[in-house]
Structure 1
Amino acid sequence: MPTVFVQVEELTEKIIGCAIEVHRVLGPGLLESVYRECMMIEMRREHLRVDSDRHVPLDYKGQRISGGLKLDLLVDHCVVVELKAVERLHPIHSAQVITYLKLTGHPAGLLMNFNATTLKAGLKRLDHPDRYVRRSRDLLSNPVTNTP
């Protein structure tokens, strides 16, 4: 049985492959929502489980914040995908993904800017600061929570 690390690596490679295909077909210059829909189609063709615009409640000092987080895409209850269609990525975009990883406990995130000439130029993989925050048996089976 592959380790959690290998499972996450294989999953991120599949997601990146889907993104490359979407970017190859559509190119840059469209709205983020178009890329989101096409990514969902492409990932489902690859038999990946994908949730779009996933709302995640957030606990702050014992109080539930209902509109806490909204993940662009969550793939196989494991990898957070944040989509952008901007002139260029800024450090705050990476910080956003890291914050999502910390609050949900998911091990990896992908930041993708489809408004780049090549997807490689607009792609960034980010790992949870504590990469092994969740046990392997929980990694692919539990829904989103904001507690590790």
Structure 2
Amino acid sequence: MTENELSKIVFEIGLKIHKKLGAGLFEHVYEECLFYELTKAGLFVEKQKLLPIIYDELKIENAFRLDMIVENKLILEIKTVDYINPTHKSQLLTYLKMTNCKLGLLINFQSDLFKNGITRIVNFI
């Protein structure tokens, strides 16, 4: 399955969750629901995955923590904020570069309209 196909599935599932729960809950609630629905759909999903950094001979095991990675291809960064700022986008782009993944979705469940809360970030490797 391609990154674009995965992103369509994530969008549909995220929309379902947003319609059912609405905006205003904590980030971890949406994350748990998204994890549940994605795994129920038969996808391999890891949540709160530690991403190490190696600097010279030093390995920092817990340098970053990915909210979710789907099928080892698509990174999901979940937010519940009033607006997405450039730092949020930079954070996801860093994760993409560190993992060599091509696509990430920044999902803000705080948006009134779910489609306005999704930002695609592409790593042009």
Which residue number corresponds to residue 72 of structure 1?
67
Identity %: 32
Q: How does 1:60-139 map to 2 (within 5 A)?
A: 60-130=55-125
What amino acid is aligned across from residue 93 of structure 2 in structure 1?
I
From 41, 44, 52, the equivalent of 1:46 is: 41
Q: Deviations over 1:3-62 (max 9, x none)?
A: xxx711111111111111111110000000000000011111211111110011111234
SS for the counterpart of 2:12 is helix
**Distance across 2 between alignment mates of 1:107 and 1:61:** 26
Gaps (5+ residues) in structure 1? 1-5, 131-148
1:20 equivalent in alignment to 2:7: no
Q: Which runs of 5+ in 2 are unaligned?
A: none
TM-score by length of 1: 0.81
Query: Which residue pairs with 1:146 in the alignment?
Result: none
1:34 maps to a residue whose letter is: V
- Residue 103 (structure 1) shift: 0.8
TM-score, scaled to structure 2: 0.95
